[in-house]
Amino acid sequence: MKEKVLGVLGGMGPMATAYFLKIVTDMTDAQTDQQHIPMLICNHTTIPDRTAFILGESDENPVPLLCDDALFLERSGAALLAMTCNTAHNFYEQVQEKINIPLLHIVKETVEYIAKRDNKCKKIGILATKGTIESGVYQDFCKKYGLQAVIPDKSVSDMLMNIIYEKIKKGKKVSVGEFLGIIDEMREIGGCDAVILGCTELSVIKSDLNLNRYDIVDSLEILAKRSIEECGKKIKADYFTK
């Protein structure tokens, strides 16, 4: 059986892309180099800002470059693609129609994971950029899977954007109190059973702070999980129970 090569549409941002590669490696049940997934990475850091375009704050459309990168990875031998940016999935259909290989959908996979995991989590807080929230992609998939999406109010949304753009993208640290304060507010005020880290920069914070909580679902981890499975490899048995 011919092994599948995973293509990674990355650079949005570079720290999240690097962390995705680490998750895939850490999560794969492998004893040798040869048992890991072969990957092609396009770390295209100059793709225009997705949120700014969605909100009408920029006329620089990221879609042409996303499509070019997807085609490049396909022509280079990728059998399927993973895009390490939640907000870019607003353009999922436009990218998918340009290629002949599957593009995993981080939002669909994450919401489906929660829906299948158990019946304890029905009200889900969405921690994401304003662009992702504005696109409605998480709200749509939650509705499809019988879950209620709770979006942050303006104060929480502003705090998230500050953390994402003024701290993580600039290589600065976020305190555990600052991060958990947002999550606790979504649970206490929004009544959420769980929250989705719907921005891959937030996944980086979760790793930095070593937060492993049942009520925090990391979209980048779920994308890694599905990438491994779709490439025919196995997940470490204890990865999601640590």
| Selected catalytic residue, list 42, 192, 199, 231 | 199
| Selected catalytic residue, list 85, 121, 142, 192 | 85
Asked whether the CA dihedral 192, 13, 242, 6 is positive or negative, the reply is positive
- As a whole number of angstroms, the distance between CA 135 and CA 138 comes to 8
Give the list of residues 6+ apart from residue 98 with CB closer than 8 angstroms, or none: 67, 70, 71
- Per-residue DSSP letter, 4: P
**Residue 15 — φ and ψ, nearest 5°?**
-65, -40
Residues in the chain: 242
231 is catalytic: no
121 is catalytic: no
- As a whole number of angstroms, the distance between CA 208 and CA 197 comes to 14
151: left (phi over 0), alpha (psi -120 to 50) or beta: beta
Give the residue numbers marked as catalytic.
85, 199
